[in-house]
Chain A
Amino acid sequence: MEAINNIELKVLPKTILYITLFSVLLPLGVLLIWSFAGSWPWPNLLPKTFSYRVLAELFGGYSGALQVLFSSVLISMVVAFASILISIPAARAIAFYDFLGKDFLQFITLLPVIVPVTAFAMGTQILFIRLNLSDTVIGVVIVHIILCLPYTMKILTEVTEATGNKMERQARVLGATPYQTFRYVTLPLLMPGIIAAGSMAYIISFSQYFLTFLVGGGNIITFSMFMFPYIQSGDRTIASGYSILFIATSLLVFILFETLMKRYYHVEEVYFFN
């Protein structure tokens, strides 16, 4: 009886693992096949002919896909960086200090998630027109940051609370100035949270379509906007190609971000990738 239970205990997590893996990898595989499909009539299991026109579309230069991809990655990186920059001190204030309106502040940072995006977008659009921020890159970056803050704030507040300030106090009595304490103790200890929050902010910004479209007014084209017509028009081959590029770029940025941070701050705990 016990032996059966043990086997069941081992089998169940493995089954879940494989189902998860399958449900993630299967669509990716389909995307990859679609990217190179020439004609794929029903009821064939695999495409009848293959074509490489997606490579010309993506990397040929005439579509401008790579330039948009590059500027889009840059915008999202700036958004991720700025969100973290704002969230670290804000999270410290929430974790370590008691001040008037603390609960209210925590609540309003969550508002962009609670309020429907359309309502949020309209309000922002009107405000940004008044501030001359609409149709500008800065406007797009700001609106992305507002959208990312609930997530980065939540993650970094949790990590800051869990870390506490004990290590910082130890550093101070060992002779570290407040700046040195932040640089050599606080930042490395927060690094898992920073990597998680940064990746989250990056992906939220990178996949943002509606808000970018509204605030950017069509002047600011990001990669997700660039993809949209292809998905809508039904050219599955090109749409799949862009999707693959979208996923691959995000993955590459995550790996780059994490490796750089860990090398710089000597953090050894693995968060996403080894």
Chain B
Amino acid sequence: MQELLIQDLHVSLSGKEILKGIHLDIRKGEFISLLGPSGCGKTTLIKTIAGLLQPDQGEIFIRGQNAHLLAPEKRGTVIVFQDLRLFPNLNVIENVEFGMRMKGVSKSLRQQKALILLEKVEMSGFEKRRVNALSGGQKQRVALARAIAAEPSILLLDEPFTSLDVNTKEKMIELVLHLHQDLNMTTVMVTHDQRDALLMSARIAVMSDGQILQYDTSKKVYEAPTSPYIADYFGKTNYLEGMITEGTFRSMLGESLVSLPDGPYRMMIRPNHLRILTKPGDFQILSISFLGDRVNALLRYRDQDLWVTAGPEVELTVGERASLEVDFSKGVFYKKEIKNAI
């Protein structure tokens, strides 16, 4: 059964429509990401799921139950906000116990559970600390433990790693994934970082301007984005103009067989699906950026610029010529709109 089902959700904030018809479904125990630039409505969406905002239109079903009239505390949806919001008047363990205390769990039981959770987030020994005396990463761990201690049916993470330095962030990602596997908690993560989304989630919902553009497995969203906008969101990519006639795509870089109707198309191909060959050819090397484990190069052929990713072992020199192999099987085709010029 679906843990969460959202149908045609519209939400406005101070008269401005933020969410414009959201459809979303999440299975029990699934980890999904809402991916998009800031201002696309992803935080508004999780606040609406948690009941902090009221929709203008549309339905939210949590475990099959219509959540419309459910107060936030009855939904079992816990948000870990980007600014963490630890209660400054409570110490670490009191913060973790908060949800259980509100539900009337006995002191000994909630203390026992809080201690286990603090151990899971590697914060044992910090029980009596004031939360304002903790570092950013430690606060994050406490916020996470507090959310999990409330035993949510859906855990909502709002940009959980943005304020952390790289090393802390990697540890936190590991921790969140580990906890997710361990507890099998349905999780929705809001992020603007495509790498975090790809790394962590089973499915990604790519959002833009209050709508979900594509909702599919991480692999599908990366390899077969349904629009150039989504393709661009996952980093630099190449577009080749061409025509399909009778099942053959013809472009300046070559031909390939496809099963698409005739017409003008753009083919999207990622830099790692182009292979650079050091033997001299038609392509001029315009720039090279060395990134340690790989090299990004910009090549030009006539007026077509192409980004290529190569292994660090490939020796390239700016200004020299090279040749290129295109793996047409990895290409994604977008039909070009024909504008009638009248």
> Which A residues contact B (CB, under 8 angstroms)?
166-167, 169-178, 180, 184-185, 188-189, 191, 265-268
Contacts and interface: CB of A to CB of B under 8 A. Distances in A.
A185 B89 CA distance: 8
B88 A174 contact: no
A268 B85 CA distance: 18
Which of A169, A189, A265 counts the most B-chain CB atoms under 10 A from its CB?
A169
Contacts of A184: 98, 101-102
A176 to B, nearest CB: 4
Contacts, number: 66
Given A171-B98, A173-B52, A189 B89 contact: yes
6 contacts: A166-B83, A170-B87, A171-B98, A174-B102, A175-B102, A265-B89
Contacts of A266: 89-90
Which of B78, B83, B85, B146 counts the most A-chain CB atoms under 10 A from its CB?
B85
A172 B73 contact: yes
Is chain A's interface secondary structure helix, strand, loop, or mixed overall?
Answer: helix
B81 A174 contact: no
A164 B150 CA distance: 23
B128 interface: no
Q: Which 3 A-B pairs have the closest CB atoms?
A: A170-B85, A188-B89, A172-B72
Nearest to B78: A173
Contact of A267 (B51, B79, B89, B101): B89
A174 B90 CA distance: 15
B73 A176 contact: yes
Contacts of B50: 173
A41 B150 CA distance: 75
A196 B136 CA distance: 31
Range of interface residues on B (Cβ < 8 Å): 20 to 34
B271 interface: no
Which of A174, A175, A178 counts the most B-chain CB atoms under 10 A from its CB?
A174
Contacts of A174: 73, 78, 98-99, 102, 146-147, 150
B146 A173 contact: no
B73 to A, nearest CB: 5
Nearest to B150: A174
A189 B98 contact: no
Interface string B200-220: 000000000000000000000
B77 interface: yes
Contacts of A189: 88-89
A188 B73 CA distance: 20
Interface in B146-201: 146-147, 150
